[in-house]
Amino acid sequence: MSILAKIRVGIIGIGNATSTLVQLLYLSRREEIKGILHKKIGGYSINDIEIVAAYDVDRSKVGKDLSKAIFAEPNNAIKLTDIPETDVIVEMGELKDELGPLSKQVITPAKEEPVNMIDSLKDHKVDILVNLISGFAMKSSENYAMKAAEAGVAFINCTPSIIVNNKEIAELFTSRGIPLVGDDLLSQIGSTALHKSVLELLDERGAKILSSYALDVGGNPETFSSLELRSRNVKRRIKASTIKAATPYEFAITTQSMDYVDFLGDHRDAAIHIEAEFLAGGKISIEIKMRVPDSLNAFNPLVDAIRATKIAIDRGMSGPINEISAYLFKNPPKPMSLREARENFYTFIK
């Protein structure tokens, strides 16, 4: 296959992140979009990304053209443009998890029979399957990853579910000669990236981190369903682990999504607190508050991950690709500082 072939992508989970992805991919074919982080990665532009298949389990989305499904409730991503029909119909996915009390309030499963994922991926000639389902659906994420491997399709896990760090799944992708990337997409300018950057700066300038916390609230459906106890605990561990990678030593760290605040819409508020000491035991206390549009924050890392994964496919690479995962995800197989991860990523794509 030519290195300049279109990148054929399947999306699982037609939520806010998918809505923003579809809208900006459509707009990019008609105008220059400000703020694209990497216009080219290994010869691929974002216009080379083509969504050819879509999967969900919610009755508000299944059976609809992707252009309509991305605006269906409970989605509340910022609307940037109307989308003409895409001829990509959202197919019924496979829900392997029980809905919790919170998830039930934002997800109503459709009654259609699940599509045969392996056949569907092959029929649509999908190169890369991107997992953007709700964070609580961990068994479903594992199932989708296994189906992608069986179909010979690369897999990008944007959720907190343990996929790339699952030894059995990683070995399956390695044995089948298919790239695997993830886990848990790192927002372009989110609280985790900012938090790590500040901690790395303090460490480089001779300060010793004593303790820190990061707390957030949001107003989109993913925030709501991610408050389910199991996914909440997994998310806490992942965020704490990736933030700790900012320094070569241990310090007290707490991270937590605190609540769902409906009037925030597709925005997230985060509060970061850092205590440190430097010369002669002098104390430093830092407080940061930030508000970001959640789904816009996912676009650049997502299109970079897709294009970099296609490079891995072109090179015949297989199994977990840490050069991509460490730069663009919170829970890669081998966590790194932001600077080291960035250098490794740029070396990889060159």
The answer on 78 and 54 residing in a single domain is yes
The answer on 211 and 181 residing in a single domain is no
Low-confidence winner among 92-101, 125-134, 266-275 (lowest mean pLDDT): 92-101
The answer on 158 and 31 residing in a single domain is yes
The answer on 45 and 22 residing in a single domain is yes
Statement: residue 249 has pLDDT above 70: yes
Alpha carbon of 217 to those of 78, 229, 272, 323: distances in Å?
18, 15, 12, 30
pLDDT in tens, 281-300: 999 999 999 999 999 999 99
Q: Which residue range(s) make up the domain with 300?
A: 7-186+296-349
pLDDT in tens, 139-162: 999 999 999 999 999 999 999 999
Statement: residue 99 has pLDDT above 50: yes
* pLDDT at res. 228: 75
Closest-CA residue to 131 (of 101, 162, 85): 162
User: What percent of the chain is predicted at pLDDT more than 90?
Assistant: 85
Our CA dihedral for 165, 155, 336, 273, rounded to 10 degrees, sits at: -90
Looking up residue 336, the CATH number of its domain turns out to be: 3.40.50.720
* pLDDT at res. 229: 60
Domain membership of residue 1 (yes or no) is: no
Reported pTM: 0.94
pLDDT in tens, 80-89: 999 999 999 9
- Domain final position from 245, 265, 293: 293
The answer on 276 and 311 residing in a single domain is no
Looking up residue 275, the CATH number of its domain turns out to be: 3.30.360.10
Statement: residue 256 has pLDDT above 90: no
Domain membership of residue 2 (yes or no) is: no
The answer on 221 and 94 residing in a single domain is no
Read off the pLDDT band of 232 (50, 70, 90). low
* pLDDT at res. 101: 86
* pLDDT at res. 230: 60
* pLDDT at res. 1: 39
* pLDDT at res. 122: 98
- Domain final position from 271, 293, 315: 293
Quick check: bond before 335 cis, omega within 30?
A: no
The answer on 302 and 289 residing in a single domain is no
Domain membership of residue 117 (yes or no) is: yes
Average per-residue pLDDT for the chain: 94
Read off the pLDDT band of 231 (50, 70, 90). low
Overall number of domains in the chain: 2
* pLDDT at res. 349: 92
State how far the Cα of 230 lies from the Cα of 124, in Å rounded to an integer. 34
Statement: residue 2 has pLDDT above 60: no
Statement: residue 29 has pLDDT above 90: yes
Statement: residue 277 has pLDDT above 70: yes
Tokens, residue 228:
């389910």
Full 3-state SS string of 29-63: CCCCCCCCCCCCECCECHHHEEEEEEEECECCCCC
